[in-house]
Amino acid sequence: MSTNPHDLTVAYSKFTTSRPQLLQFYHIHRHISNHFEPALIPGARERFTSMYSMHLWFNSGGRLGTNAVSVDGGFPSFIPEEVKEIKDPFARALAQRIQRLPVKLQVGFSESCIMSSCVKPRFQRDTNPAVLLHCFDSSCLEWRRTYPLLEDAAVETWAIDILGWGFSDLERLPPCDAASKRYHLYQLWRTHIQRPMILVGPSLGAAVAIDFAVNFPEAVDKLILIGASVHVEGTGLLTKLPKFLAYAGVSLLKSLPLRLFANLLAFDDISLSTCFDWTNVGRLHCLLPWWEDATVNYMLSGGYNVVNQIKQVNKRVLIIWGECDNIVSNKLAVPPGRWARKGGIDRSRSKTLVFNSSCMLHKLQRLHSELPDATIRQIPDCGHLPHVEKPEMVARLIADFALSGTRKEEQNPIVLNSAGEKNTSSFIC
């Protein structure tokens, strides 16, 4: 989830002006599972090979279901024990698939190998893979509801933990500043992925994606930015904090009340019980012993400032935006009339605009105006994290964007065997 200090400050001001609505929202108790009649999704079948847990995903009428069954039921030993208390079946299922891969990284004056956490795809395709980043101070579990849908859509998908967050082994703590995060992602890509990526970044992850695409354009095919928080100029005055105050602030950052508050802001409409459970999912990585040191290191380093890099992006970009985003949407709004032209769209620029009928011209994003080749998709009735709140829509948008321009015969995935090698047989989803 996004707990960027600047975002929370802006969001808190909105919270205080709309407290009655949020308090009413806070007491909503809807058990969404009652509205779904489970039916097995076609696609949870032979591609789930014996080396992996078999997850059976349920849905009704194309909607995301509420049940997931894991055959082996085991979690990796490096995941905190509190994972067993999480009720969200999608989080539990994806947590069982997290693994650590060796990634070389410079630590001090020597090169070290960081065992880096991620979720690897079950199949390999001839087309470029989607690589999912996450928000500020989060983990790959953020993609728990969208990841299985992307697999069902035959998109080769990685979910990566950004250095300093997630479940990587940081016992020998490396620098966790923006440059180190960039280099770590590059080394992971160069070692394990080795093809241009459709790089997907939500919230602060969008800044990570832009920074990476500008510095390593050969590694990126396209960008997808979700609820992008890219106009915040780093961590600001937090860089000047004495270390003891920085550690005090970081301790507050992982506290249950603050995380719960951030979830209430991030999501448009969830029950209180779901909010508590998702809060536990979002702070699970904070329970690792090196989390505080890594987060303080990032905070004091200055964080991400990509304001001057946005216009340097020369890739196709898809911007996904939740209509009810309480965290960044107002910051990104273009001043009224800036892009107003005859017909309501600036036709002098090579851009594509696709809006929900309820979206007004004044909600055109500043980010869109700064990117040379961008498309916006707005998701109605959705908050800051559409990939958690509206996974069906996000999965469809990512799949369409990732597979656009590919020949039909290229879209058949290749199943990987237990050694991670290609099988000779293939199948069509």
Among all residues, which ones are annotated catalytic?
Answer: 203, 325, 384
Closest CA to 62 of 427, 390, 378: 390
DSSP E strands in 372-427: the ranges are 374-379, 414-416, 422-426
Q: CA-to-CA distance for 345 and 380, rounded, in angstroms? A: 21
Query: CB neighbours of 131 closer than 8 A, spacing ≥ 6?
Result: 157, 158, 159, 160, 189, 193, 197, 198, 199, 200
Q: Residue 339 is encoded by which pair of tokens?
A: 């892009």
Helix then strand then coil, in percent of the chain rounded to 5, is: 40, 20, 40
Q: CA-to-CA distance for 120 and 222, rounded, in angstroms? A: 20
User: Is residue 67 a contact partner of residue 55, using CB atoms and an 8 Å limit?
Assistant: no
Closest CA to 299 of 250, 251, 360, 344: 250
Write phi, then psi, for 32 (nearest 5 degrees). -60, -30
In a 3-state reduction of DSSP, which class is residue 64? strand
In single-letter form, the type of residue at position 238 comes to: L
Which helix (H) or strand (E) segment is 113 a member of? strand 110-119
Burial class (CB in 10 A: 0-12, 13-18, 19+), 418: exposed
